[in-house]
Structure 1
Amino acid sequence: MTTRAIMRSRQCGTQSRAGFWTLFLCLLVFFLFFPGAGHSAQITLAWNANTETDLAGYKVYYGTASQNYDWFVDVGRVTAYTVANLTDGVRYYFTVTAYDSSNLESVYSNEVSSSSCTYSISPASATYTASASTGSVTLTTQAGCSWTATSGASWLTITSGSSGLGSGTVRYSVAANTSTSSRSAAITIGGRALAVTQQGTSNTTAYTITASAGTGGTISPSGAVAVTRGASQAFTVTPSTGYRVSYVLVDGTSVGAVTSYAFTNVTANHTIQAYFARTYTIRASAGSGGSISPSGSVGVVRYASQAFTVTPSTGYRVSYVLVDGTSVGAVTSYAFTNVTANHTIQAAFGSCTYSVSATNMTVPASANTGSIPVTTQTGCSWTATSGASWLRITSGSSRSGSGAVTCSIAANTSTTSRTTTLTIAGRIFTVTQRGI
């Protein structure tokens, strides 16, 4: 079965041979499963079979934008199909059509979408001395994505976080190494491997890195971390919910608001300290007919400010804006200042209607002026354009709310009348000028 790219966008609509196609308008499409980490991204779809006797097969369409499908697969008469070789973490949209023996095709079924799970860990490696020790590793993935953690050696024990849904932390212990030889093993989490190396008793510890974290987060590993001469040691800084990294000090000097830091070729004792700042969330949303920017969950540091811009779509106006459930009017911008709590902001929009006082006018051959009133709601923008150079708009070519278009009409020196149009708020206004 061949998959090929197509450069067209199809929308749901009415097809010919309505009696056949009506049977396919409500195809039920749903996801069966996602493979776990370590596999290429793929999604299996299934749908209800059609009972039409002239059914020849089905086509599965998919792409990365809703109702705009870049690829399709002719799957024949099967009612389930696995779409493979998808990109990890990218949201795809799927729909199904049916076709008959004449290759006439139905409208699209209902659309479904989802994205595959991706997994990453931090740090990716850790080195310990021969003494018993503990450590942790952070797994990052999407909400609802399941994972398990397994150890590859008996001396490397998972103490918490052996499985979970969404992002999480796996903690482990390292048993003392009584051998003179170093040893290595891995903890596999969501298909990603944390490489753990433990020195033997002959590898004496030369230096100590002291790691600490303030209120609002953690640093891993923490405490007094022993590092052999010339070795490297990585640290991961993780803010708690409602906090962000404020800054990290290495030997008393800030290295910025980093979430990881690695010492390399260690030849001295060091310190690393992580500090955090309280953050709050402003949830911004917009109804149909416009947008708010930024949108979604916006993190704001304590005492900081955050501005939002409300933009109606063409043909719409701002109806009202709610801040923490209370209207602040039909504003197009709003700013939170000195933020010390979570907030919400919601924008609602209404459609615009336009009324032009007349549809046409006739004027004499002499030079004239005219004014055409336009009625609409406050906040509704509109424009006016002329179709001829002898009919010039002197004011009102672009406005918001009710107003008027004023125009200047040049003298007609011909014996023949002439006609042109004004386009006002999408309405056509005809102007006829008599000849001399």
Structure 2
Amino acid sequence: MYHQGNGSRSKLFSLFFILVMCCLFLGASALHPSARAGAAGVTLGWDASAGVSGYKIYRGTASGSYTTSVDVGNTTSYTLSDLASGTTYYFAVTAYDSSKEESGYSNEVSYAGGSSCTYSISPSSASFTSSGGTGTITVTAASGCTWSASTGVSWATISSGTSGTGNGTVTYSVAANTGSARTAAFTVAGQTFSISQAAATSTTTYTLTLATAGTGSGTITSNPSGTVFASGTAVTITAAPDSGSTFTGWGGDCAFAGTSTTCSGKMTRNISVTANFTRSVTTTYHTISASAGTGGSISPSGSVSVSSGSSKSFTITPSSGYTISDVTVDGQSVGAVSSYTFSNVTANHTIAATFTQSGTSTTTYTLTATTAGTGSGTITVNPSGTVFASGTAVTLTAAPDSNSVFAGWGGDCAFAGTSTTCNGKMTRNINVTATFNARTTTSSYTISAYAGYGGTISPSGSVSVSSGSGKSFTIAPKTGFSIRYVLVDGVNVGAVSSYTFSNVTANHTIRAYFKYGYY
């Protein structure tokens, strides 16, 4: 309580402080139940304080939570005889003066009604260095006797054994001390466990140096703020880009944090940190027009805006009673796929899905396959035939004769280029031409392979390839870079990590370009 005014009030405050610090104890009769049937009794005793008009006893069945009280007058002991057997009670005492102004609670004691519960702890005290540590306290109590443990301070915590019944162990930890020496008194099974910790002895300090770099602008802040810190101080550094700039990553001692806007660590040496800010550039967007016919849906649909260089996936879902018939991308069939992803988008695109009713279609389409060119060869169809039910998946394979080379597809297989196979579904009449040319005196061709800054292509340089054979190339970014795109004969084939030229019948070029970062 806080009092203002005359000297008697000040004297009362001092008196109450003495009362709170004195010891509340259980009298001998607390070890025996009273004579009244079905109930137990306990005698409480406490130290007397001068100038006090009387005392009140508070009790409850939970530690620190008191539900009833009794004014016992100016006496230093009192017997409570209406306790229930087998129930643990918690008691505290307050004092009051002639004006009925009341002190704070004394220390708390507990009693398991109707049982003989005594408690002891070992050890009763412990000391720690400034670096902290862990320890254990052994509680000795009879079976059925409950107890609890608490530290009362934030720098010492109980890891296990906050409560128990009978014998038990309390495990605790003490945090490192960065200030002056400190002490605490744990309450364990109603007993006092004293703990002390030495003051921090280190006076070593380290300097934090912050800088910015890049074409953009921004600020760096530290928490706690400052440039000189005691050894071991935990510091969090935050980068905030200005409007029109983006944060592109840390340098120096925060390089490990990458592009996270925060970097945390402890001052165990002098620290130098650089935050890189880049001036924002205008993002270019492209449109993918997505549509679905009767019998299903595509998601997302309509005109979908996609930032240049990024990717976008679409999901095709047939309605009940329908199946996916075909999906075309930029007018070319990619089969009856249920999903499709555009990678490294650098132009506008279209994607369209068609559907057929399950098990009801009797529509058939005709496949016409012919050969052309100065050479000779054959076209095989799997499954074989020329008339197929709608939706049938068909694979066409071109095989040149010994004195000829396959020069590429025409008609509805033109999208397959010089690959010797062409795949698709029969969703309409299909006309295909395979061109075979007679072998010439040229027995090999050159593929020029080039890699820009930030990665490699293997093999590289001028690569000789036998006529009609194939050649594969591997594209690999260096650390900190990713593939931007790959050009084959000047055509963007996306951010692929490998590419294979099949049935080479002419010179080719392949060029790989890279970008810094992974997005």
Do they fold alike, i.e. is TM over 0.5? no
Larger Rg: 2
Per the normalisation by structure 1, the TM-score is 0.31
Higher relative contact order (CA 8 A, sep 6+): 1
